[in-house]
Chains A and B, each alone.
Chain A
Amino acid sequence: MTPLSRARSRLPLLIFLTPILLWLLLLIVLPHFDLLRMSFRVENNSGDMVWSANNYLEFFREPIYWLTFTRTAVYAVIVTVLTLCIAFPVAFYITKVAPPRFKGFFSLLLLMPFWVSELVRIYGWMILLRESGVINHFLVAWGILQQPVELLYNDIAMIMGLVYTSMLFMVVPLLSVLDSLDDSLIEAAYDLGSNSATIVRSIIIPHAMPGIASGSIVVFMLSLGNYLTPNLMGGKNSLWFTEQIYNQFIASFNWNQGSAFGFLLLVISSLIIFIGLKLTNQQLSRVIR
């Protein structure tokens, strides 16, 4: 509450409120209600649209749909855990181990690749990994391989691509949260005879929890909703749920089925974010900052 807000006219409020309401209503609220509505519409035998939960039943009836769905969620969790494990030491090194004068330089270096479009980054990995790619070229030239092998189009390549793509969103919150950790706490624990494992477990990780939570939530959500990376790096068998949605919308032109899928993805993503926030005792508005 600012000191000024007591004696103010309502005109500025209206001027600020109108565009925000229009934006949220027309582009966020109503479209998602429409998504929900469409997901419950089905064409009956005589070609009319009727209300039905058939689109959702179809999801549970066809193993390919719910298998893809489960697989996507499980893989997104794996990606999140991997990203956290890779990013944590890096954030720790930059904030606590490296000489302080390099901190700005390292942070800049970390950000650079993520200013570039995801498509360019994935394309770089494709050039590296594919059968005629750069890694194969070196492996054959050095005599490690007789024949080039296809390193792209499998689950491992896809997971690596997703980890790479989401790295920034894990490193940045970790950097800020570790930066606020007072070194003297670690020094005190060390002087009192704790070993490194104890320090990490009982000082560093509890302090870093808000950063871990916010990083994990963002990475999970971005991986779950990613389309490019699974599509370009995954193989024929690594179907992502967003690709199912795309297929329903663009290939089969079954918008109602696609809406049901989209709504399910929205529900699972919100649910896991909600559980993550509850488990770590965080608030959405704090986490996003």
Chain B
Amino acid sequence: MIRSLPVSASYSVGFKIYIGLFFFFLFAPLLVTCVLAFNDSMFPALPWKGFSLDWFVADGPERIGIFHDQINLASIWVSVKTAFFVTILSTVVGTCGAFLFEQEEFRFKQFLYFLMLAPLVIPGVILGISILLFSNTLGLFFENRFNLDIGLLRPGFWLVVFGQFSFITTLVTLIVSARLKKFDYTLEEAALNLGANRFQVIVFITLRFLKPAIVGAMAVAFLMSFENFNTTLFLVGSDATLPINLYLQVRDGSTPVINAISFLLIIGTSTLALVNLFVQKNKSD
């Protein structure tokens, strides 16, 4: 049954086969995607026609590798910019949230906490359409009342940033709160006794203590934003983010350049994830 109890050979072998199959199921699509990025073929399919870096570096006219593919490069840049702003905004607000729910007392705290968790259980599509509706309503209101045309409220870059921010902040709040719970309040009291004010305590003591959690939350926020599709779909304007752009290409038939992008994404995200894990391990011990 468990490792300390005797088990039959068939149980142990059967379980190992199951786990093997499970991990095969988990990694097969990613492996195939990566391998086919290097196939010397016009289609992301077998047979294997030899190793080639064309889908990374080729510069036309038959094949355009990712490093020369202006549309995809532009969408990667849009995604990086979006993720950058989402990360900054959600980290600042999320850290405020952690302080608010862990260290402050006020009326309706439970209710507000519940509301703060809501974005996690609202489907991303719903979040997208309701923010689209509300920004449209606001836009119409400003136009009719003050004759103001506010570009910020139309689908586009900033609406995407706000849409992603609306649920990623919850994640940041939860991650930072988890570490703030472990904070030793005698440190804070000592500083206060020695004459520091509340903000000095926060800047010099509490935030230092929270740093690993904040860095971790920033990594999570960046990845979540970079990969978001559901909410972004309804808020996106003329400059598509990478997931939206990839979706359009995948839906309407694809070339191995998508495999090349996927390969870079897989390498990039796993590196970021591993570095983050390593940093967390070192700092929290």
The interface of chain A, by Cβ under 8 A from chain B, is 1-5, 8-9, 11-13, 15-17, 19-20, 23-24, 27-32, 34-35, 38, 86, 89-90, 93, 96-100, 108-113, 115-128, 132-134, 137-138, 164, 167, 183, 186-187, 190, 196, 199, 217, 221-222, 224-228, 231-232, 242, 245-246, 249-250, 255, 258-259, 262, 265-266, 269-270, 273, 284-285, 288-289
Are B117 and A16 in contact, with the CB atoms below 8 A? no
B237 to chain A minimum Cβ distance, whole angstroms, is 13
A133 to chain B minimum Cβ distance, whole angstroms, is 7
Are B115 and A29 in contact, with the CB atoms below 8 A? yes
Are A89 and B125 in contact, with the CB atoms below 8 A? no
For the A-B complex, the count of residue pairs with Cβ-Cβ distances under 8 Å equals: 262
B87 to chain A minimum Cβ distance, whole angstroms, is 15
> Considering the chains assembled together, what is the distance between the CA atoms of A90 and B26 in angstroms?
12
Are B122 and A133 in contact, with the CB atoms below 8 A? no
Residues of chain B within 8 A (CB-CB) of A196 are: 1
Are A31 and B19 in contact, with the CB atoms below 8 A? no
Stretch at the interface among B69-77, B101-109, B143-151: B101-109
Interface contacts beyond A20-B112, A115-B273, A134-B45: sample of 7 additional A-B pairs, CB < 8 Å, sorted by A: A32-B122, A34-B133, A35-B129, A124-B30, A127-B36, A242-B230, A255-B133
Residues of chain A within 8 A (CB-CB) of B121 are: 217, 221, 269-270, 273, 284
In the complex, whether B33 has a CB less than 8 A from a CB of chain A is yes
The interface of chain B, by Cβ under 8 A from chain A, is 1-5, 12, 15, 18-19, 22-23, 25-30, 32-33, 36, 43-47, 92-93, 96-97, 99-100, 102-106, 112-127, 129-134, 137, 162-163, 165-166, 169, 174, 178, 185, 188-189, 192, 198-199, 202, 223, 226-227, 229-230, 233-234, 243, 246-247, 250-251, 254, 258-259, 262, 265-266, 269-270, 272-273, 277
CB nearest neighbor in A for B234: A249
Residues of chain B within 8 A (CB-CB) of A255 are: 133
Are A17 and B126 in contact, with the CB atoms below 8 A? no
Residues of chain B within 8 A (CB-CB) of A117 are: 226-227, 229, 243, 246, 265, 269
Known: A5-B105, A123-B250. A186 touches B5 (CB 8 A): yes
User: Which single member of B19, B115, B123, B178 contacts A28 (CB below 8 Å)?
Assistant: B115
Interface of B is mostly: helix
